[in-house]
Amino acid sequence: MLSAQFTPEEWAKIDAIVGIESRGFILASGMSYAQNKGLMIVRKPGKLPPPRHSVRYTLEYGEDELQMATNLPPQRVLIIDDVLATGGTLLGTCELCTHCGHEIKGIGTLINLPGLNQFAWPNTPVRSLFTY
């Protein structure tokens, strides 16, 4: 159902799906398989082998860090996560993808809690199955 939020024309412009640790992995891997696209992962520190790039981001209760492999060629990506709450993790992932040379073509979440966030990424609306 989350895959259906994107048109065939949009899917044609996507090379890989980025799944955010950890529940985003489940959604992204299924979409990657169903759409025959590559899969990239964004993880917490210390879980990916080098080379990797890190970005720190703000949460409602402090800061955290995300990492992504840097040995992949630049690709057109769709970022997928389970919940968009405060937006910190998604913003950090967008910054990380951009820093690694990837072009963000779409963002999708299972659940969006717009009352908790004002998340925005240039020219890239968030598509969600459920909004509360």
Q: State the CATH number of the domain containing residue 49.
A: 3.40.50.2020
- Structural domain tally of the chain? 1
Active site residue 60: yes
Statement: the pTM of the whole predicted model exceeds 0.85: yes
Please indicate whether residue 88 or residue 60 has the higher confidence score (pLDDT).
Answer: 88
> Does the pLDDT at position 78 exceed 80?
yes
Q: How confident is the model at residue 58 (pLDDT cuts 50, 70, 90)?
A: confident
Active site residue 23: yes
Active-site residue among 21, 23, 65, 95?
23
Active-site residue among 10, 43, 52, 60?
60
Read off the pLDDT of each residue in 37-48 and give the average, rounded to a whole number. Answer: 97
Q: How confident is the model at residue 59 (pLDDT cuts 50, 70, 90)?
A: confident
Q: Which residues of 84-101 are buried (b: 16+ CB within 10 A; e: fewer)?
A: bbbbbbbbbbbbbbeebe
Would you tell me how many other CB atoms lie within 10 Å of the CB of residue 21? 17
* Residue 4, burial from CB neighbour count under 10 angstroms (0-12, 13-18, 19+): exposed
The boundaries of the domain holding residue 96 are 3-131
